Amino acid sequence: MKRKLTLISFLLVVFNGNAQIADSTSLVKSQSKLSYKQFIVPTVLIGGGFLLKESTLNKNLQKDAQKIFGSDFQTQIDNVIPFIPIAQIYGGMFLGFVLKSDWQHQTVNIFVSNVITYTIVESMKHSFKEIRPDSSDNFSFPSGHTALAFTNASLLYYEYKNTNIWYASSGFLFATATGILRIANNKHYLSDVLTGSGIGIGVGLIVSYWNPFGSLTFGKNKTHALLYPQVGKHYGMGLILYK
């Protein structure tokens, strides 16, 4: 019973951490620069994941999760809901919310942040080679689904937080559900989910505030340039020109 209560408490850590984001960012609403306080939540989540990774508690919590959800529990929803916040980012404009940036900048932010998150997660998976709870492969740590879900939820949050805080925060519900379902599907330990969520929040935060994608105007024809980093097999800068 004690372990089950511990599991439920840990599953709520991610969602509670999201609420703390709103509190910490409200202190810097009028600022365009990053504050160290904004990195507290992702740092705690990543640190907690690393502390749990090799512990007996981590495996015991997974066993308790299987008792709660059932050993035969399976769903594919966790492959879809990480990307619902992306639809929300584009959909906000149709709901009448004031956008932080135009759809071109949104698209670049989504693409760049997802590539960065994917690269970080895949690098860590191949470095740590942790076996999944179901022993299907050795790419358990950290959770890529959870990381991408929290990346997109963070982008949604920082895009609309000054317009409608409830709509902006709603993406974290889908992100938290993703992490819980990855555990329920026996694909990830809690340590994987916590670390993945921290990575996602951190990347979303950095891409939203570090703005090398600002629009530049050239001459009378109002041609704009979007500059963005390329991360993957090759590193460099990309350029999108549009009128």
pLDDT digits (tens, 9 = 90+) for 189-224: 999 999 999 999 999 999 998 755 554 443 445 555
Cβ-based burial of 2 (10 A; exposed 0-12, middle 13-18, buried ≥19)? exposed
Provide the token pair at 19.
């609420």
pLDDT digits (tens, 9 = 90+) for 150-159: 999 999 999 9
The confidence score (pLDDT) of residue 31 equals 41
Say which residues have a Cβ less than 8 Å from residue 174's Cβ, sequence separation at least 6: 81, 82, 84, 85, 149, 153
- Report the 10 Å Cβ neighbour count for 218: 11
pLDDT digits (tens, 9 = 90+) for 45-104: 999 999 999 999 999 999 999 999 998 999 999 999 999 999 999 999 899 998 888 888
Provide the token pair at 16.
């509670």
pTM here?
A: 0.78
- Report the 10 Å Cβ neighbour count for 175: 34
136-152 burial code (b ≥16 CB/10 A, e <16): eeebbbbbbbbbbbbbb
Confidence category of residue 133, pLDDT binned at 50, 70, 90: very high
Residue 154: strand pairing partners: none
Residue 236: strand pairing partners: 230
Confidence category of residue 175, pLDDT binned at 50, 70, 90: very high
Position 30: which residue type?
S
Of 163, 144, 162, the C-alpha closest to 152 is 144
Helix (H) and strand (E) counts in the chain: 9, 3
Confidence category of residue 35, pLDDT binned at 50, 70, 90: confident
The confidence score (pLDDT) of residue 36 equals 83
Residue 214 half-sphere exposure toward CB, CA atoms < 13 A = 5
For the residues 100-113, what does the mean pLDDT come to? 89
Instruction: Inform me whether the pLDDT recorded for 184 exceeds 60.
Output: yes
d(CA 93, CA 91): 5
Q: Write out the DSSP string of 145-198.
A: HHHHHHHHHHHHHHHHTTT-HHHHHTHHHHHHHHHHHHHHTTS--HHHHHHHHH
* Contact indicator for 193, 45 with CB cutoff of 8 Å: no
d(CA 39, CA 24): 9
Instruction: Inform me whether the pLDDT recorded for 132 exceeds 80.
Output: yes
The confidence score (pLDDT) of residue 192 equals 98
